[in-house]
């Protein structure tokens, strides 16, 4: 549903334009028309899908018109095919978090390749051809391993540490304290407290003028062309 997403972003632009262009002139150059006060931010969710929690999260994101990015553990995909299809249909970005949540750092090249390819192949079979970006488990990969990665990689600039506190208020608060435009926020959609925290974060930041986009959209909005084998931590130009 890229089209729907684009329409949404255009609407955001249209509503923000009068603030910066009081003469009402229509600008021909769309990128130049992005008002400085529009703040984009990306929520990312690792370790899912999990039927109960991911379903609730998708419902909440849909109600709020917020997009997110999901880095899926391959061995959990088959039992949750309809959730993965729903992610794509509702404008979210779907990415790869290896097959078995393997620690890539220190693993041999064959294991790294197998962990990534098995999940990638399943995503292609369900969602079709595409570039399924990688989040290495624990955000860790060795410099020498990067050259065998044939997709862009994503870590984060804000860590909710939601898995540690398992406390919705605490996780939301830690993210809200650090929130800044172009941030990439790390959360996990396998805990009910994380879902509650994420929706609270969306509610608060949308009131502050933030627009929730996928990581791919965040980079594109900042004019960044994602490179294969490169790690992106935020939407800020490197």
Q: Catalytic positions, please?
A: 46, 188
Site string for Zn ion, 78-117 (x = CB under 5 A): ----------------------------------------
Q: Write down the least CB distance from residue 101 to Zn ion, Å.
A: 6
The CA distance from 125 to 226, in Å, is 24
| Peptide bond just before 49 cis, omega within 30 deg | yes
The CA distance from 17 to 121, in Å, is 43
Out of 48, 95, 137, 235, the residue judged to bind Zn ion by CB under 5 A: 137
Which region among 129-137, 145-153, 174-182, 202-210 touches Zn ion (by CB under 5 A)?
Answer: 129-137
Q: Write down the least CB distance from residue 143 to Zn ion, Å.
A: 21
Please work out the total of residues on this chain that contact Zn ion, with binding judged by CB under 5 A.
Answer: 3
Cβ closest to Zn ion, residue 159 vs residue 236: 159
The CA distance from 233 to 145, in Å, is 18
Three-state DSSP class for residue 153: strand
Instruction: Return the exposure string of 188-216: e unless at least 16 CB atoms fall within 10 Å of the residue's CB, then b.
Output: bbbbebbbbbbbbbbeebeeeebbbbbbb
- In the DSSP assignment, the letter for residue 33 is G
Out of 9, 12, 42, 47, the residue judged to bind Zn ion by CB under 5 A: 47
Cβ closest to Zn ion, residue 8 vs residue 163: 163
Q: Write down the least CB distance from residue 238 to Zn ion, Å.
A: 24
Out of 9, 17, 34, 46, the residue judged to bind Zn ion by CB under 5 A: 46
Structure tokens at 200: 């609270």
CB-based contact 126:81 (threshold 8 Å): yes
Which region among 19-27, 43-51, 77-85, 200-208 touches Zn ion (by CB under 5 A)?
Answer: 43-51
Q: Write down the least CB distance from residue 232 to Zn ion, Å.
A: 17
For position 162 contacting Zn ion by CB under 5 A, the verdict is no
Enclosing H/E stretch for 163: helix 162-165
Q: Nearest residue by C-beta to Zn ion?
A: 46
CB-based contact 174:161 (threshold 8 Å): yes
Residues interacting with Zn ion, by CB under 5 A? Answer: 46-47, 137
């Amino acid at each position: 549903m890229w089209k729907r997403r684009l329409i949404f972003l255009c609407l955001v632009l249209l509503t923000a334009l009068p603030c910066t262009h009081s003469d009402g002139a229509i600008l021909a150059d769309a990128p130049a028309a992005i008002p400085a006060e529009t703040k984009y931010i990306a929520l990312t969710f690792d370790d899912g899908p999990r039927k109960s929690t991911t379903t609730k999260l998708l419902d909440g994101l849909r109600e709020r018109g917020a997009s997110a990015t999901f880095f899926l553990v391959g061995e959990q995909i088959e039992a949750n095919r309809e959730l993965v299809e729903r992610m794509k249909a509702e404008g979210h970005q779907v990415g790869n978090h290896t097959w078995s949540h393997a620690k890539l750092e220190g693993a041999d090249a064959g294991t790294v390749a197998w962990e990534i390819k098995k999940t990638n192949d399943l995503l292609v079979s369900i969602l079709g051809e595409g570039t399924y970006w990688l989040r290495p488990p624990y955000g860790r990969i060795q410099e020498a391993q990067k050259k065998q990665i044939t997709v862009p990689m994503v870590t984060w600039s804000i860590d909710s540490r939601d898995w540690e506190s398992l406390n919705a208020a605490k996780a939301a608060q830690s993210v809200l304290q650090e929130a800044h435009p172009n941030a990439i926020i790390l959360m996990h959609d396998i805990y009910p407290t994380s879902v509650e925290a994420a929706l609270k974060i969306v509610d608060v930041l949308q009131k502050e003028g933030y627009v929730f986009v996928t990581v791919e959209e965040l980079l594109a909005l900042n004019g960044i062309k994602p490179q294969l084998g490169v790690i992106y931590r935020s939407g800020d130009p490197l």
